[in-house]
Amino acid sequence: MSEQGAYIFGCEGLVLSRAERDFFERAQPWGFILFARNVDTPDQLRALTAELRGAVGRDVPIFIDQEGGRVARMGAPHWREWLPALDQVDLNPREAVRSLYLRYRLIADELMAVGIDGNCAPLADIATPNTHAVLRNRCYGDDVVKVAERAMSVAQALLDGGVLPVVKHIPGHGRATLDSHLELPRVKARFKELGWTDFMAFEPLAGLPLGMTAHIVFEDIDPEHPATQSPGMIALIREKIGFGGLLMTDDISMQALDGALSVRARQALRAGCDVVLHCNGTVAEMEEVADACGRLSENAQTRAQTALSWRKPPVPIDIEALEAEFQSLMIG
């Protein structure tokens, strides 16, 4: 067993409290995740990421959801603003692969400058006419081949910028017509159809170091459990899709899941997830999750070490040249 906990935690504010520092030192989370409540200025954010690493005494990965568009924890005036990804793609579909690369290479540069080395992107969810609005314009398209190609470009951009990508939401969130933050979506599509659409979009991404599960029930495969807590669905992610990286849950606090946090967390780990993601930064809740999860399993520790081995120094870039190229693609 590892000395690192099988969980990724948030924190409450712009600086760590003494209680948070003491808890993180004891609990040794595998990683951290930041939200808008943790973000003010570049100097403040650099200090916070240094403080988080200091609390656990190691170069722990620190994640954020910086997709651009509606899901952006860092915004103006200190960081670039972006269109929702699907709106960007629609402006110049022919150059979507390159424009998404440029977008996420610039985002990676901003993240690394403040000590953040993990981004919860790319999405390989396929947009449909019925995709819930919470997700739809965050997608990269409605065609499985194009989505996979664009998602790989996003992942490569982040890696080139020194940032670990987290592919989401495995094995596909695009058919969800409900918001899983608030309720549990159920997908009725048959296994065969899912296999050559939603699931197939993730297969070219299966070699990436990190992935995040979807809180969705796929009724034809496991009508009882959302993918995050379904042994059958996790086996499908590992065996059919072939994903071999560290698999984290989507936020365990989301209302798609039932029961106490400890129960939710244990069910996810028993199903085969490696790490539980808990996002709201409430110490009492994090203590419950830590007690329920314990330390990384041997297999999870191996995948975690492999994931961290993907961290490389950023490839040097000419920021002004990339920005100019991006703008040229957005005007045709």
- Domains of the chain listed by start with CATH number: 5-330 (3.20.20.300)
Rounded to whole angstroms, the Cα distance separating 29 from 104 reads 27
pLDDT over 70 at 96, yes or no: yes
Are residues 238 and 171 in contact, defined by beta-carbon separation less than 8 angstroms?
no
Closest CA to 88 of 70, 115, 114: 70
Residue 263 CA: distances (Å) to CA of 39, 246, 252, 297:
31, 21, 10, 18
179 or 191: which carries more pLDDT confidence?
Answer: 191
Rounded to whole angstroms, the Cα distance separating 8 from 5 reads 8
pLDDT at 164: 98
Categorize the per-residue pLDDT at 2 as very low, low, confident or very high, splitting at 50, 70 and 90: low
Token digits for 68? 């651009």
Q: What percent of the chain has pLDDT over 90?
A: 96
- Point out the catalytic residue in the list 65, 222, 250, 274: 250
Catalytic residue flag (residue 225): no
Are residues 205 and 152 in contact, defined by beta-carbon separation less than 8 angstroms?
yes
Number of other residues whose CB lies within 10 A of the CB of residue 47: 16
pLDDT at 167: 98
**Beta strands at 29-34 and 5-9: parallel, antiparallel or unpaired:** parallel
Are residues 245 and 213 in contact, defined by beta-carbon separation less than 8 angstroms?
no
Q: Once rounded to an integer, what is the mean pLDDT over residues 206-225?
A: 97
Catalytic residue flag (residue 169): no
How many CA atoms lie within 13 Å of 185's alpha carbon, on the beta-carbon side? 24
Rounded to whole angstroms, the Cα distance separating 206 from 218 reads 20
- Point out the catalytic residue in the list 40, 143, 181, 220: 181
pLDDT at 1: 44
Q: What is the pTM of this model?
A: 0.97
